[in-house]
Structure 1
Amino acid sequence: MARFSGATWKPISVNFKSGGQESVYGVVIHIMDGTLAGTDSWFRNPAAKASSHFGTGRTGALYQWVDTADRAWTQADGNRTWLSIENEGRGGDALTSAQIARCAEVLAWAHKTHGVPLQVASSPSGRGLGYHAMGGRAWGSHPSCPGARIVAQLPEIVKRAKALTGEKPKPSGYEPFPGTKWFKKNPRSPIVTAMGKRLVAVGCSTYTTGPGPQWTDADKASYAKWQRKNGHRGTDADGWPGKTTWDALKVPNVS
């Protein structure tokens, strides 16, 4: 059995397949087009032929209706390999901050329990955090579920899930200047590789084998050309990076 202790356990006796979950590719976000209470009642009606593993309320309630070892009936062909979260609201709504937080908790738990990667998925063959419409006809043809506003919130859910699991977010921005002395130690570092690629991209490479992992004379010659392009002359264009030209080069963060 796999039940999330952070959710209120609200088991249903119909509208799911016991032991039917074949694998877990990820978690699918839905919109209820109704209320949490109404959805809870509907899932208990045998005529509904519908259910979900989890559901959130707009003020932060979180229910679990179906054990994740069992197959909920919420996204047609995707039921076999994806878990599901129904979210209280109407088409066109955005998730509330409380709902985003609860979805992130479920995703973080699914990551630890089922190995779901903390990333946004965009197709049924992907893995991570997906959304109902991405399944197209095979998933019942629901192009407006959960809607563009919620799809735009998926990266924030992933970000919060990473924070809950302690996984560091991928760094963004640019490498801070490591100092001229750092280069004079002839380091082997991914920073040097990233710097070389930037020099190639801006047309300053003086060699054809591509950037290497170690600071070399070829790197120095290429960097001196970059310095000259940025107005340095004479001994100022010596091939040793300084903060002004380094900041202008915008080497992507590799840490």
Structure 2
Amino acid sequence: MAKYSKAQWRPIPINYTSGGQSSVRGLVVHIMAGTLAGTDSWFRNPVARASSHFGTGKTGAIYQWVDTANRAWAQANGNSSWLSIENEGKGGDALTSAQMDRIAEVFAWVHKTYGVPLQVASGTSGKGLGYHAMGGSSWGGHTQCPGSRIVAQLPQIVARAKRLAGSAPVPKPSYAPFPGAAYFKGSPRSALITAMGKRLVAEGCSAYSSGPGPQWTESDRKSYAKWQRKQGFGGTDADGWPGAKTWAALKVPTV
């Protein structure tokens, strides 16, 4: 048996082949054209004649319906040598970041369990992370599954899987350079102010702007002063105006 420990185990009694997984070339990404709950119900219906090994929800839930030693009914002639993962959504959608994380986690597990290389599959005769439409008519002719937006996300999923598997360095975060104290005196509006405000909210401030749009306001200054004091700064370093030291401590991401 091969069950992925981080998935919610929801075995289905029908619509799969016991055993029959001759080899594992990789993991195939699908789109449900529906919800995770609806797909879970459909796979238990004898009329469906369909199933998948795994499934993700938009908010990050992960189900496993079929043991990977068994053959799920997901991509016709590809069932015997490829595992499958369905994803909540409809054609034309992109995957959420949470879904990409879950797929990356499953793919890293497939890599460790079956030796599948961490790469985007070049086709049905290749190995790696694939997608339903790449199989053409022999895989059921689902040329719009999972859709071009999701196919474009596959390299990002592979990169996440590599980091999880320890085969790629974790990129260092990039932080915005301090724009200088004078920058804030004129109540500027900019993407940098928005990014700074989001960091303050993430740090526990309840709000970061009282004015329209991404503008540095008196409300921002008070929130920043409160945050500065919380971090142990005092004197002119806790006056509500960004300085070089407190800016470095806030770690505003590059915009």
Is the structural similarity TM-score above 0.5?
A: yes
Superposed counterparts of 1:163-174, under 5 Å: 163-168=163-168
What is the aligned partner in structure 1 of residue 79 from structure 2?
A: 79
Superposed counterparts of 1:28-47, under 5 Å: 28-47=28-47
Structure 1 counterpart of 2:86, one-letter code: E
What is the aligned partner in structure 1 of residue 68 from structure 2?
A: 68
Task: State yes or no: 1:153 paired with 2:153.
Answer: yes
Distance across 2 between alignment mates of 1:26 and 1:166: 19
Q: 1:168: how far off?
A: 2.0
Structure 2 counterpart of 1:69, one-letter code: A
> Which contiguous aligned blocks of 4+ residues in structure 1 show a shift greater than 6 angstroms?
none
Could you say what secondary structure the match of 1:12 adopts?
A: coil
Give the greater-gyration-radius structure (CA).
Answer: 1
Could you say what secondary structure the match of 1:31 adopts?
A: coil
Distance across 1 between alignment mates of 2:93 and 2:157: 16
What is the aligned partner in structure 2 of residue 110 from structure 1?
A: 110
Q: 1:2: how far off?
A: 0.3
Q: Normalising to structure 2: TM-score of the pair?
A: 0.66
Instruction: Please give the per-residue CA displacement for 1:173-203, whole angstroms capped at 9, x wherever unaligned.
Output: xxxxxxxxxxxxxxxxxxxxxxxxxxxxxxx
Structure 1 counterpart of 2:140, one-letter code: G
What is the aligned partner in structure 1 of residue 134 from structure 2?
A: 134
Instruction: Please give the per-residue CA displacement for 1:100-137, whole angstroms capped at 9, x wherever unaligned.
Output: 00000000000000111100013100100000000000
What is the aligned partner in structure 1 of residue 15 from structure 2?
A: 15
What is the aligned partner in structure 1 of residue 212 from structure 2?
A: none
Could you say what secondary structure the match of 2:158 adopts?
A: helix
Superposed counterparts of 1:100-249, under 5 Å: 100-168=100-168
Distance across 2 between alignment mates of 1:105 and 1:83: 14
Instruction: Please give the per-residue CA displacement for 1:120-159, whole angstroms capped at 9, x wherever unaligned.
Output: 0131001000000000000000110000000000001000
Instruction: Please give the per-residue CA displacement for 1:214-242, whole angstroms capped at 9, x wherever unaligned.
Output: xxxxxxxxxxxxxxxxxxxxxxxxxxxxx
Q: 1:79: how far off?
A: 0.1
Could you say what secondary structure the match of 1:92 adopts?
A: coil
- Percent identity over paired residues: 74
Could you say what secondary structure the match of 1:83 adopts?
A: strand
Distance across 2 between alignment mates of 1:47 and 1:91: 22
Distance across 2 between alignment mates of 1:94 and 1:48: 25
What is the aligned partner in structure 2 of residue 227 from structure 1?
A: none
Alpha-carbon RMSD across the aligned residues, in angstroms, is 1.1
Give the unaligned 5+ runs of structure 2: 172-255
What is the aligned partner in structure 2 of residue 240 from structure 1?
A: none
Distance across 1 between alignment mates of 2:71 and 2:25: 13
Structure 2 counterpart of 1:26, one-letter code: G
Distance across 2 between alignment mates of 1:13 and 1:84: 17
